Structure 1
Amino acid sequence: MALNFFFFFLTLLSNYLTFLDAALVPAMYVFGDSLLDVGNNNYLNFSAPKANFYPNGIDFPTRNPTGRFCNGKNPSDFLAEKVGLTSAPSYLSIIENRDRTYKFNIGVNFASGGATIIPQSNHIFVTSISLTKQVAFYGSVYEALVKDLGVNNAKEHASKSLYLIEIGSNDIFEYFGSSNLRKTYTPPQYVDLMCRHFEKQLKRLYEKGGRKLVVIGVGVIGCTPAMRYKSITEACNSEMNWMAFVYNQHLISLLKRLKDELLGFHFAYFDGFSIMLTSIHKPSSFGFSEVKAACCGSGRLNAELACIPKVSYCNNRDKHLFWDRYHPTQQAHRFFSDLIFNGPPTYTFPINVQTLVAI
C-alpha cells in the first residue's frame, strides 16, 4: 500500500514538473481595458463597467461570472494556455483579499474595464484603472520580485516574461463623447496625445525589465452593436473607425521606433482592426453568422439595453462575433488568440507570439 502511494506521488510530481517545463515563459503580465479584464473592476466601488453578474461567464469553465466582459474566456486566458501558464488573477483580488501567499512571479492581470491610455482627470470617483496606474501597480510588483528573487534574477525573470497590452478604444469613445475634447484637440492631435502617453508607459515597463511585448491594436470599434444602434441604417461609425485606424498606424510606427532605440526590446503586434473588419465582411469564412447584433441584450441589435441579469441571450453564441454591445464572444476571442499566437504576418507582425517567446 505504502509502495503504491509512493509511486503515485512520484507520478504526480513528474506530471507537475512536466507542466512547469512546458511553460514557454515564466509569467505573463496583462495591461488593458475590458477586453482583458478578469475581475479588477469587481473591486472598484464606483465603477460602472462591471461584468460580475449572470449571464456573463455562462461558458466559462466554472459557469459563473468572474468579472470578464464575455460569455467565457478572453485573450489573456487563451494566450496563457498557449504558453503553458494558468490565467493570471486580477491584481486587486490579490491586494483586496490580502493574499500574502501569492507569488507575482507567475503573473498578474492589471486590466480594467473602461481604462484609458490618457488619464481622465475629470472623474470624481475612480471608475477604472488607467494605463498609467496599471503600470504603477506593476512597478510595485517588480519591487516585490526584486525583494523575493534578487535584482539580477528579477531582471532575468522580467526579460523572459510576456507583457500583453490592449487599450485605446475608450480614449476614442471619450473623444467622440466629449465636446470639450473635440474643441481642445483635432483628431490628429488627440491621436498624437494617445501615442505620447502610451510611449511613456512602455518605457516605464522597459525600465522595470519588460522586453517582450504583445500589443493588440484597437479594433473596428465603430462597428460594435452599440455604435450601429445609433445609426438608423445600422451602419458603422466611419469617423470612429478612421480614428482607430490612424491610431493603430501611429502605434505601429512607435513600436518599430522603440525596437530600434531600446536594446533587447521585441514586440508582436496584432492587427485586430483588419481581422475584425474581414470577419464582418466575410463572416462565413470565420464561422460567424451574426456580426451586427449582440448575443446578449435587448432591443434593436440587442444593443438598446446592456447585457444585464434577466435580459435574453442567444443559444448559438459561437456564431456571434459580439457577446454584448461592445465585447466579442469567447469564440471570437479564441479565434483572434490563435492568430496572435501563431498567425501569419498578415495579422501578427513583425513576429507572432510563438516566435517572440523563443527569443
Structure 2
Amino acid sequence: MRILVIVSAMQSLGFAFCVSLFLASINVVISSSSPKKESTKQRAVFVFGDSLYDPGNNDFLNISIDLKADYPPYGETFFKYPTGRCSDGRLISDFIALHVNLSVWKPYLEPGKQQFINGANFASAGAGALARTNPSTLNLERQLSLFMNVVNTLTQQLGNAEAKKLLTNAVYLSSIGGVDYEHFKSDYPNATESMKLEYVNWVIGNITNAIKEIYKVGGRRFAFQNVAPVGCFPAVRQDYNLSGPQCEEEMLALATLHNNALSNVCRKLESQLSGFKYLIFDFYNSLLDRIKNFSKYGFKEGYKACCGSGVYHGSNCGIAEYDLCTNPNDHLFFDGHHPTEHANSQLEQLLWSGNPNVTWPLSMKQLFEFDEPEISNLADDDLFMHA
C-alpha cells in the first residue's frame, strides 16, 4: 500500500536511524514468541551500542529527525504503537532481557527515578565508537560516562560491597562499530588499505579502552555482537544501485577487518585481565546467511525492506511517501538498516544458545551460568566513585 506522511522541512533526509520511546509505567504482556526463561542465575545486564540495541535514548536528545523514529509504522507488530525502536517490534537486546527474566528495555535517559539493580541500556541510534560519528548521539565514550554515573548511584544505594558484587556478576552486552564504517566509506570513498587499517585500529582502540574502564569497576563478563554485513543492507544496495544479490564489497571488507580485530583483541585481553570472560556473536555471518538464503529461514523477502521508498525500500520509512508491507514477518528487514522483530528473535536465539560456529568461545547462556570470576586483584578504591 502507498502511504503519505507529512513531516517538517527535514523530508529530504535520505534515511532514518531509529531509536525508541518505551513507556516504563506499562508492564508489557509478552507474546507466545517470547523466549523461554532459562537462566537460573540473576544478573544485571548493561547494554551499549547503536540502533540495533537502542530502546529510545535519542528521543531525549536534542537531535534531528533522521536520528529518531518515534513515529508510525515503527513498533506496529508487537507494541502496536511507535516506540522508536529500529524495528516493527522488539530488538535482540530485548529478547536477551526476556531470556534472563528481565523486562524489555526502557531508555536510560527516560525521565523519572530508575532502579539499576537489573542493569541499564545506554545504546543510541547512529552512535559510533568514535566521537566524530554522529556527534549529537550518545557515542561510546558518552555511554561509558553514563554507565559510570550508574556505578556511583549503585554504590550510594547499595554500599561498596553489594555494588561491587552486582557489577562483577553483571553481563556487559554491546553492538557498536557499524555506523563508524558507513561514515568512513562515505567520507573516504578512495581510501587506501593503510587508511582502512588505521581506521579499524582507531575504532577497536576506543572499544578496548571502554572494556578496560568497565573492567576497572568490576566488569568481567562481556558479550560482543560483531559488525553486520552493512554492505548488503537494503539502504546501501539502493544507494549504490546494486542489483540481484550484489553487495557493496568494500564495506563488507571493512566489517571483516573489524570483526577479525575484535576477536584478536578479546583473546589478548583474556590473557591479560584476570577473570575476563567474553563471547563474540557472529552477527555478520548469521545475518548474511539469512540475506542470501532468506527462504531457508522462513522469509519471503531478504533484499527489500518491509517499509520505505526506492527499489529496495532502503530509505524514508515513516517519512514522506513510502511503501509498507502487509506482514513484516515475511521480511528479513523492516527498514533499510534494521531487521524485523521476527529476524531479531531468530538472531537472539543464536546469541543465547548458538553453537561455537556462531557464538564463541561461550554462548550467552553459558556466560550467564559461568562460575563467579576472581576479583581479588582489585582494590575497593579502584572500583567505585568514578566521575
TM-score (norm 1): 0.87
Q: Choose the corresponding residue for 2:126, options 110, 114, 118.
A: 114
- Separation in 2, partners of 1:219, 1:146: 36
CA deviation after TM superposition for structure 1 residue 309, in Å: 6.7
Secondary structure at the residue paired with 2:215? Answer: helix
Corresponding residue for residue 319 of structure 1: 330
CA contact under 8 A between 2:238 and 2:310: conserved in structure 1? no
CA contact under 8 A between 1:340 and 1:353: conserved in structure 2? yes
Corresponding residue for residue 30 of structure 2: none
Q: Choose the corresponding residue for 1:225, options 200, 211, 234.
A: 234
CA deviation vs aligned residue, 1:204-251 (integer Å, no higher than 9, x gap): 111122111111000110000111112334221000001101100000
Secondary structure at the residue paired with 1:290? Answer: coil
CA deviation after TM superposition for structure 1 residue 54, in Å: 0.6
CA contact under 8 A between 1:54 and 1:309: conserved in structure 2? no
Change (3 A) 1:229 1:205: same
User: Is 1:160 the equivalent of 2:178?
Assistant: no
- Separation in 1, partners of 2:224, 2:168: 16
- Separation in 2, partners of 1:245, 1:212: 24
Q: Choose the corresponding residue for 1:32, options 49, 56, 64.
A: 49
CA deviation after TM superposition for structure 1 residue 319, in Å: 1.9
User: Is 1:260 the equivalent of 2:278?
Assistant: no
Q: Which amino acid aligns with 1:103?
A: Q
CA deviation after TM superposition for structure 1 residue 304, in Å: 4.6
Corresponding residue for residue 128 of structure 1: 137
- Separation in 2, partners of 1:50, 1:185: 34
User: Is 1:244 the equivalent of 2:261?
Assistant: no
User: Is 1:104 the equivalent of 2:116?
Assistant: yes
Q: Choose the corresponding residue for 1:144, options 128, 153, 159.
A: 153
Q: Which amino acid aligns with 1:111?
A: A
Secondary structure at the residue paired with 1:92? Answer: coil
Root-mean-square deviation (Å): 2.1
CA deviation vs aligned residue, 1:55-110 (integer Å, no higher than 9, x gap): 000012x31111211100001110001111112321110xxx2x23x211122110
Aligned residues, how many?
A: 331
Corresponding residue for residue 294 of structure 1: 305
CA contact under 8 A between 1:23 and 1:85: conserved in structure 2? no
CA deviation after TM superposition for structure 1 residue 184, in Å: 12
Change (3 A) 1:231 1:178: closer
Q: Choose the corresponding residue for 2:185, options 140, 165, 176.
A: 176
User: Is 1:203 the equivalent of 2:212?
Assistant: yes
Is 279-288 or 173-182 further displaced after alignment? 173-182
User: Is 1:45 the equivalent of 2:62?
Assistant: yes
CA contact under 8 A between 1:225 and 1:292: conserved in structure 2? yes
Secondary structure at the residue paired with 2:76? Answer: coil
User: Is 1:273 the equivalent of 2:284?
Assistant: yes
Change (3 A) 1:183 1:243: closer
User: Is 1:81 the equivalent of 2:98?
Assistant: yes
Q: Which amino acid aligns with 1:28?
A: V
Change (3 A) 1:151 1:21: farther
Change (3 A) 1:119 1:185: farther
Corresponding residue for residue 17 of structure 1: none
- Separation in 2, partners of 1:184, 1:92: 39
Change (3 A) 1:52 1:251: same
If asked which structure has higher relative contact order (CA below 8 Å, sep 6+), I would say: 2
CA deviation after TM superposition for structure 1 residue 182, in Å: 4.3
Q: Which has the higher helix share?
A: 1
- Separation in 1, partners of 2:230, 2:57: 23
Corresponding residue for residue 63 of structure 1: 80
Change (3 A) 1:183 1:22: closer
CA contact under 8 A between 2:38 and 2:100: conserved in structure 1? no
- Separation in 1, partners of 2:93, 2:103: 10
Structure 1: runs of 5+ lacking an equivalent: 1-19
CA deviation after TM superposition for structure 1 residue 358, in Å: 0.7
CA contact under 8 A between 2:69 and 2:85: conserved in structure 1? yes
Secondary structure at the residue paired with 1:84? Answer: coil
Percent identity reads 32
CA deviation vs aligned residue, 1:168-226 (integer Å, no higher than 9, x gap): 01110110111499489710111111111110011111112211111100011000011
CA contact under 8 A between 2:270 and 2:276: conserved in structure 1? yes
CA contact under 8 A between 1:88 and 1:107: conserved in structure 2? no
Q: Which amino acid aligns with 2:89?
A: G
Q: Which amino acid aligns with 1:59?
A: T
Secondary structure at the residue paired with 1:344? Answer: coil
